Amino acid sequence: MAGVLLWVVCPKGNATAMLSLIPRSGNKPKKRSFNGVSAVSSAVANPARSSEERVYDVVLKQAALVKEQRGRKALDLEKRDEKTDGVSAWDVLNEAYDRCGEVCAEYAKTFYLGTLLMTPERRRAVWAIYVWCRRTDELVDGPNASHITPRALDRWEKRLDDLFEGRPYDMLDAALSDTVSKYPVDIQPFKDMIEGMRLDLVKSRYINFDELYLYCYYVAGTVGLMSVPVMGIAPESKSSVESVYNAALDLGIANQLTNILRDVGEDARRGRVYLPQDELARFGLSDDDIFRGQVTDRWRNFMKDQIKRARMFFDEAEKGVSELNSASRWPVWASLLLYRQILDAIEENDYNNFSKRAYVGKVKKFASLPVAYGRALMGTSKLI
């Protein structure tokens, strides 16, 4: 995500109005268990297990929340139409959501168009999640990234805790705080995304794919776990909730692997190599080859292997998109198809991702939209 980080702080009166809308609790969240799965993130515990096993525990926990049938009650906005300085809290919250929509429209145009097919409630909630993820990413990848410290990320995580407890700091926080009060969204994927930002501050090499998989989960796979509770699973779906969440996770992993393969040259210029070191060595390559930026047969063979794996994750993700609520499928299909084409573009560039940036042109983008829409109209599959 590129662009300017938005720190939109509400006027004092508006902040008071928003606080009246968000459920508040004086108690800290309690540690909970669902079918033996601890509420403490397994993605950061028990390092003896593989990354996929540890992340799957987070998937199980989020799926359990959905099975509880909306553990949090929706806000009763009609009863909470309190006014501050002549402005109703409902108006302020509407303004917060509208601002999230504007940010989404500016920085994720294709995805934004797809969200317009969703119900207004789901659409606004997805915008709120998108904006929070964008702001989080901008902390370490935006114009002020050089000034970001671990302590700053700690403060950002404290803000996250507060907004989940109904104490938003600013307008954009208020939109997300309202969203998580209405949908069975767990805080752990949000915390795990912040953990991914912490990794970016201290880690620039990944020994093997197991390490890289965990990083991809932190910075992208988490988005799927945040979004599915809002997008909803089709009532007619015969698939297990866990399998749908797994597919959402796979889409995030696939997207991030694609980002990494597209941005090899750009990352190298920043001293970063997001490619498994052991796999580079297996193809007779090292960091020096990446910094040199020459496309050789060894590099082509290595890239073919990496692209094959990314496509495998896209294939797994496709199995779950059709299980989403019908109104939510189009933006997900559009994102999936467009990202898959970035891999095609890398191949068309003869695997030169050192000095050529692979991108999907406008003609191909627009051509993908009706295809995505057609797939969105298809019924559910038999994902188990």
How many alpha carbons lie under 13 Å from residue 109 in its C-beta half-sphere? 5
Q: Where are the beta strands (DSSP E) in the chain?
A: 33-34, 37-38, 83-84, 87-88
384 residues of the chain, pLDDT tens digit each: 333 232 222 332 333 334 444 444 433 333 333 233 333 334 544 556 888 888 888 888 778 877 674 344 444 433 444 444 444 677 889 999 999 999 999 998 878 888 988 999 999 999 999 999 999 999 998 888 788 899 999 999 999 999 999 999 999 999 999 999 999 999 999 999 999 999 999 999 999 999 999 999 999 999 999 999 999 999 999 999 999 999 999 999 999 999 999 999 999 999 999 999 999 999 999 999 999 999 999 999 999 999 999 999 999 999 999 999 998 998 899 889 999 999 999 999 999 999 999 999 888 888 888 888 888 888 655 444
How many alpha carbons lie under 13 Å from residue 163 in its C-beta half-sphere? 27
| Residue entry with tokens 């988490």 | 222
What totals of helices (H) and strands (E) does the chain contain, helices first?
Answer: 17, 4
Residue 300: which H helix or E strand, with range? helix 297-321
Q: How far apart are CA 290 and CA 296, in angstroms?
A: 11
Q: How far apart are CA 67 and CA 252, in angstroms?
A: 22
pTM for this prediction = 0.81
Task: Give me the DSSP letters along 117-129.
Answer: TS-HHHHHHHHHH
Q: How far apart are CA 230 and CA 226, in angstroms?
A: 8
> In this structure, are strands 37-38 and 33-34 parallel, antiparallel, or unpaired?
antiparallel
| Residue entry with tokens 């508006």 | 14
What does the pLDDT read at residue 49?
81
Q: How far apart are CA 286 and CA 277, in angstroms?
A: 7
Q: How far apart are CA 293 and CA 112, in angstroms?
A: 36
Length of the chain: 384
Taking the CA atoms of 273, 59, 328 and 160 in sequence, report the sign of the dihedral they define.
negative
| Residue entry with tokens 């090292």 | 286
Token pair of 27 as six digits = 């108690």
What does the pLDDT read at residue 2?
36
- With contact defined as beta carbons under 8 Å apart, do 340 and 314 qualify? yes
What does the pLDDT read at residue 72?
43
Q: How far apart are CA 118 and CA 231, in angstroms?
A: 8
Q: How far apart are CA 333 and CA 140, in angstroms?
A: 28
What does the pLDDT read at residue 75?
41
Q: By three-state DSSP, how is residue 325 classified?
A: coil
Q: What is the DSSP letter of 23?
A: -
What does the pLDDT read at residue 14?
38
Task: Give me the DSSP letters along 275-286.
Answer: SBHHHHHHTT--
